[in-house]
Amino acid sequence: MFLLPGRTECVEKYGRAAADLAARGYATATIDWRGQGLADRALPDRMAGHVEDFAEYQQDLNVMADAVRRAGLPEPWYLMAHSMGGCIGLRALMRGLPFRAAVFSAPMWGISMAAWLRPVATVVAALSGPFRYAHRYAPTTGGEAYLLTNPFEGNVLTTDREMWDYMVRQLREVPDLALAGPSIAWLRAALRECTALARQKAPDVPAICALGTAEKVVDVAPVHLRMASWAKGELDLYPGAEHEIMMEGPAARKRFFDRAAALYDAHR
C-alpha cells in the first residue's frame, strides 16, 4: 500500500497508520516528498514548501515505485493519499500507475481560500515569475509551522487532543521535520494542477474518498464534484471530523482503516 502524505507532512507522522494497516494485513510504503520531512529542501529558507511544478512530485512517486519494485515488496499495489497527496495520487491514477484501488483522505483537488483572496492569489501567482518573487511565501502564509504556533482549541486539523499532541511532539523532538507555508511558486503550480485535473474524467479505479464535514483546509466543492462523477467511487462523510481523518479519534480511525482494508480486500 502506497501512502502519499500531504503538504508539510513527514513519514514519521504515519507510523500509527502503518501499524493500523499492518494489523489488517497490508504493508506500507511512504515517502518524504522533496522539500518536506528529512528530504532535501529546495530553498535556503528550509521552512518554505516549494516546487516549480507538480510534475516534480510525479518524479518522486516514480522513484518510490522503482524502489518498491527493487525491494520486492508485496503486490498488488494499492493507494492511500491524504490532502496534497490526494492531488498527486489522482494524477498518478490518471497516468496509469498500477494501483488496484484507491482511498483518499480530504484530497486537495481545489485550494481553499476566501472568495476575495482567490483572484488576488491568481494574479500574484501569475506575476511571480516575471517579477522574480516566486520563492516568497504565498499570501496569508508565513515561516512558522502550524502545529507549533497554534493551540489545540480551534485548530483545523483534528478534534482529537491525543492525536494533536502526538503530531506536535514529533516536531518538537525533531525540529527538522517541520515545514511552514508554501511559496508563491508552489501555489501557482497547485492552482494549475487542480485546474488540469478537474478537466479530466475520473479514472477507472475503485475508490473511496473520506471527507470530514468540518473540513476547512481543502476546497470541498471539487471533492464533491469529482466523486459525483466517479463511476467506481464513493464519497464517505465523517460527521464533525476535521482535515486529518487518520488523526481523528479512535472510532473515526477504525472506520477509515476498516473501510480501506475492505476495499483493498475486494480487489486482490
Q: Are strands 99-105 and 207-212 parallel, antiparallel or unpaired?
A: parallel
CA dihedral 57, 61, 63, 68 (to 10 degrees): 160
- Region 63-72: mean pLDDT is 97
Contact between 64 and 99 under an 8 Å Cβ cutoff? The reply is no
Q: What is the overall mean pLDDT for the chain?
A: 93
Full strand arrangement of the beta sheet holding 2-4: 29-30, 2-4, 77-82, 99-105, 207-212, 233-238
What are the C-alpha distances in Å from 26 to residues 72, 120, 251? Answer: 15, 44, 20
The helix/strand/coil state of 104 is strand
- Region 64-74: mean pLDDT is 96
Confidence at 123, pLDDT banded by 50, 70, 90: low
76, 94, 102, 100: which is closest to 3 by C-alpha?
102
Looking at residue 86, its amino acid is: G
For residue 149, the tally of other CB atoms under 10 A from its CB is 9
Q: What is the pLDDT of residues 125-158, one digit of tens each?
A: 565 555 456 789 988 899 999 999 999 999 999 9
Q: Say how far apart CA 48 and CA 66 lie, in whole Å.
A: 28
Q: What is the pLDDT of residues 7-33, one digit of tens each?
A: 999 999 999 999 999 999 999 999 999
Give all domains of the chain, ordered by start, each with its CATH number.
2-265 (3.40.50.1820)
pLDDT of 116: 46
pLDDT of 120: 53
Contact between 101 and 23 under an 8 Å Cβ cutoff? The reply is no
Q: What is the pLDDT of residues 224-239, one digit of tens each?
A: 999 999 999 999 999 9
Provide the H-helix boundaries in the chain: 15-22, 55-70, 84-94, 117-128, 146-149, 161-173, 184-198, 220-228, 250-265
pTM for the full predicted model: 0.94
- Region 259-265: mean pLDDT is 98
Confidence at 122, pLDDT banded by 50, 70, 90: low
Q: Is the pLDDT of residue 115 over 80?
A: no
Q: Is the pLDDT of residue 175 over 80?
A: yes
- Region 166-190: mean pLDDT is 96
Least confident of 46-50, 135-139, 211-215, 261-265: 135-139
The helix/strand/coil state of 244 is coil
Higher pLDDT, 139 or 183: 183
List CB contacts of 128: < 8 A, sequence separation 6 or more. 134, 136, 184, 185, 188
Q: Is the pLDDT of residue 40 over 70?
A: yes
List CB contacts of 266: < 8 A, sequence separation 6 or more. 101, 206
